[in-house]
Chain A
């Protein structure tokens, strides 16, 4: 479903502080499976997910999605793919402050311009599924870490993506909340979605729901590739 061929990514290329986050990654990720990227800080896990999720383009190499090369597409097309194919759950959840949980969930769908009422109903259904219906009208900054994460998951799902990307999803959660998160991942998998996660957390890498663990070190695949 997703293929990476000799993908390299440099930050600050050509400057004194040039840094190669990925140094040539070859990888194939299957549809409907849960994959965890593991590795120490700076190993390139997050950069890899940004390449896969169309958040950034590789410096060289190719990224393909369902057989289509997406590594050289203009921003407009990348945004379209990102919006329709991927849902993101960020490490620090990145909810917008000052607006309600419900509005946060609806935000990704605003530029699509669909029916506002239908969007609101869909967002409320998602919050309800994640046991957050009673907090729908709470402002984002009033939510606990676990609650904020569930709102972030609902937001990731509002455009009904086939692939969900989660960056260090349990980094800010206790064990109980982490287990709850893994239950949600199991539900997503049961719905046929592909889930890609980065994590340091052994609880995540060793969870039964995880199909594959890919280890990275110094911008290269170190195992599981």
Chain B
């Protein structure tokens, strides 16, 4: 066994020294390879993280959402609708929600203003998201003021900062009391932004939705599953677009790598002949060249993946942001929560490391099976 390790160590040392001998070729290949892994991994990590964020958001959303429509546009919903919905068989609960957007001229940013269902802040106090705290450099105890609908100032003392599991959910949150919310926007006490409904039997969601629709014709019903499907298709479409754009580059790389790896130079053929003549078996030569291929591809994979991880989770994926992240679907400012999917890593690993190693070994196998006496001739 120690002989086996000794052999692997010796071959590994020699593989590193062989790669170092062809510095230009090795570094050039490593650089291109790393870039390809980086781009592919960035696209995969980014879209996967977006999906996960969306799933986190949706996990907290109600099964059924009821909004009032006036002339095809979303309008405030009267509290009387609550009673009508609660009376429908199968409905477990129906609660009015208060939320909206508030533009803060001081930070030139939009906040999502909400009255939380549980533990709402006391009047005059607010709990803010990490993004809000960051742009306003606000800390607990600070005071933030906004101009209300009637032009008067409404002030809030920061009572807490949300520590989010997902920045997407909470970065721009501004949680206030119901009194302050209504005061700020001038919304009457019998009006809500929308109504969230929970259903006793999850399999009856669609039936309950139909009943609500029939009972309240001025409303539209939004189901969680529908939102989920919309997200999925949007992400699939966008990831597909990016991958399609990348396909050309990836193909070019594989042609380049195949060319580099499979085209044995006269010098390399001579070396293989010498190694065989001094007592190396065909298997030893193939093991050496495989190690060279694995060293290059594994290094490129690790560097590329690490760079992609930093690109996506540290720097917010500036290269893909315009394509994969858009106003229409998600809030523009958030940092993705780092997450790595093992299957995704394995897939990328297989499709980048394996073909190159194979491309490296096939021509060597052909060269290594030649009789070693050629070095004598």
Contact = CB atoms under 8 A, between A and B. Distances in A.
Contacts of B274: 94, 96
A55 B21 CA distance: 27
A107 interface: yes
Contacts of B276: 79
Interface in A60-79: 75-76, 79
Nearest to A168: B376
A116 B5 CA distance: 11
B377 A83 contact: no
For B11, B271, B276, B281, which residue has the most chain A Cβ atoms within 10 angstroms? Answer: B281
A99 B278 contact: no
A35 to B, nearest CB: 17
A167 B376 CA distance: 8
Contact of A50 (B275, B284, B376): B376
Interface in B181-230: none
A155 B280 CA distance: 13
B290 interface: no
B131 interface: no
B327 interface: no
A96 B17 CA distance: 11
B347 interface: no
A76 B281 contact: yes
A82 interface: yes
Given A79-B280, A97-B21, A155-B278, A107 B14 contact: yes
A46 to B, nearest CB: 5
A110 B14 contact: yes
Contacts of A16: none
B153 interface: no
Contacts of A94: 270, 273-274, 277, 375
Nearest to A139: B21
Contacts of A79: 276, 279-281
A110 B11 contact: yes
Contacts of A108: 278-280
A49 interface: yes
Contacts of B371: 55-56
Contacts of A155: 278
B150 interface: no
Interface of B is mostly: helix
Nearest to B14: A110
B72 interface: no
Contacts of B5: 113
Classify chain B's interface size. Answer: 35 or more
B17 to A, nearest CB: 6
Given A99-B17, A114-B3, A88 B277 contact: yes
B282 interface: yes
B9 interface: yes
B17 A113 contact: no
A111 B280 contact: yes
Interface in B257-278: 267, 270-271, 273-278
B7 interface: yes
Interface string A194-213: 00000000000000000000
A159 interface: yes
Contact of A46 (B8, B17, B271, B377): B377
A115 interface: yes
Most B C-beta atoms less than 10 A away, residue of A50, A98, A110, A114: A110
Interface string B1-13: 0111111111101
B374 to A, nearest CB: 9
A128 to B, nearest CB: 21
Contact of A115 (B6, B17, B278, B372): B6
Interface string A19-56: 00000000000000000000000000011011000011
A103 B9 contact: no
A56 B373 contact: yes
A119 to B, nearest CB: 8
Contacts of A88: 277-278
Contact of B277 (A90, A110, A112, A119): A90
Interface in B146-186: none
Given A82-B372, A107-B14, A110-B14, 19 more contacts: A46-B376, A47-B373, A50-B373, A55-B277, A55-B371, A55-B372, A90-B375, A90-B376, A94-B277, A98-B17, A98-B20, A107-B278, A111-B10, A111-B280, A112-B6, A113-B3, A114-B3, A116-B9, A116-B13
5 contacts: A47-B373, A79-B279, A90-B376, A108-B280, A116-B9
Which 4 A-B pairs rank lowest in CB-CB distance, beginning with the nearest? Answer: A113-B7, A83-B279, A98-B21, A113-B6
